[in-house]
Amino acid sequence: MIKIIGPELKNIPWEERPENCSDPIWRYSGNPIVTNDAVPDCNSIFNSAVVPFQDGFAGVFRCDDRTRTQKLHTGFSRDGIHWQLTPEVISFSTRPEGIEPFWLGYDPRVCRIDDEYIVTWCNAYQGFPTIGVGKTSDFQRFEQLENAFLPYNRNGVLFPRKINGEYVMLSRPSDNGHTPFGDIFLSYSRDLVYWGKHRLVMRKGSGWEDTKIGAGPIPIETNEGWLLFYHGVLNSCNGFVYSFGAALLDLHDPSKVIMRGKRYLLAPQSDYERIGDVPNVCFPCAALCDAPTGRIAIYYGCADTVTGICFCQVNEVIDYICGK
């Protein structure tokens, strides 16, 4: 029996599986849950991160404005479904010397480690994409740290605790454009500043992930390993198609893959996933889990336009990636 290692989350957003659904993941019937009217002068809100906070939830949301500049906003919710986003863009009260002021960022993740919330995102450094890192304790005041890596890099995803005394981050080395390649690596750090001991985790696969892959939500610790949801990209005759699947990584050395699903878990099928600024995209960036029940709620970007949520049970996901 696979068990999630973590706290109880009694108020996890949840909707029971529809009677006519046999898939391991099912969509919320009220999707999309966040649309562009949540922030003034906004074109789209998608690929965003959510964590439990106080007696509800907080998040960092990718909000592309009407100049099509990629910005980050905070958001708060009592139930994880209905969100109130702040109209002001996140600003950092401090930043390292030599780092340009934050002006563009996208595809954030948020990871709670001890009493701090660490934010990672695709940051613009001298016009090149790399992994930005910041932290906050209250989602009001943010401190910017050094960028984690040299350009070019995307999909920086931290593990929710230190492993063998070190922070661990997944990433996807890339290029300066709409990267037509990519595999998942991990790196270690003692201080969130200097990163090394880079290791390959997974290469792209075939079929639904034949072009590139990238880490999604913060990995979920279980008694059998780290459950990693990740996106994979198919290069179809009509362009890229983003779906997501899952793998299980070793608890002590997460560069080792214990098992990996051959089939996707969720692919673009609903209208809000197939129609938008970038059609055919399901891009997971956050997951909430309740350890006692094994429930997981996954937040994902839909067609680079809106934000949706879907649900699953940890044991059913593991069975699925095992081929059962």
> Quick one: how many helices (H) and strands (E) in the chain?
2, 22
Placement of tokens 């809000």 in the chain:
272
Work out the mean pLDDT of the chain and round it to a whole number. 97
pLDDT at 324 over 80: no
pLDDT grade for 323, boundaries at 50, 70 and 90? confident
Residues 5 and 291 sit within 8 Å (Cβ to Cβ): yes
How many Å is the Cα radius of gyration of the chain? 18
pLDDT at residue 1, as a whole number: 86
pLDDT at 176 over 90: yes
Q: What distance in Å separates the CA atoms of residue 305 and residue 245, rounded to the nearest whole number?
A: 21
C-alpha 185, offset from chain centre: 15
Q: What distance in Å separates the CA atoms of residue 209 and residue 235, rounded to the nearest whole number?
A: 9
CATH numeric code, 25-321 = 2.115.10.20
pLDDT grade for 296, boundaries at 50, 70 and 90? very high
The pTM assigned to this predicted structure is: 0.98
pLDDT digits (tens, 9 = 90+) for 214-254: 999 999 999 999 999 999 999 999 999 999 999 999 999 99
Helices (H), the chain: 271-274, 314-321
pLDDT digits (tens, 9 = 90+) for 297-314: 999 999 999 999 999 999
Q: Which residue has the higher pLDDT, 1 or 219?
A: 219
Average pLDDT over residues 144-160: 97
DSSP symbol at 254: T
Tokens of 249: 């990584």
Beta bridge mates, 113: 116
pLDDT at residue 125, as a whole number: 92
pLDDT grade for 101, boundaries at 50, 70 and 90? confident
Residues 70 and 62 sit within 8 Å (Cβ to Cβ): yes
pLDDT digits (tens, 9 = 90+) for 181-214: 999 999 999 999 999 999 999 999 999 999 999 9
Q: Which residues contact 175 (CB under 8 A, 6 or more apart)?
A: 152, 181
pLDDT at 121 over 80: yes
Helix (H, G, I), strand (E, B) or coil at 36: helix
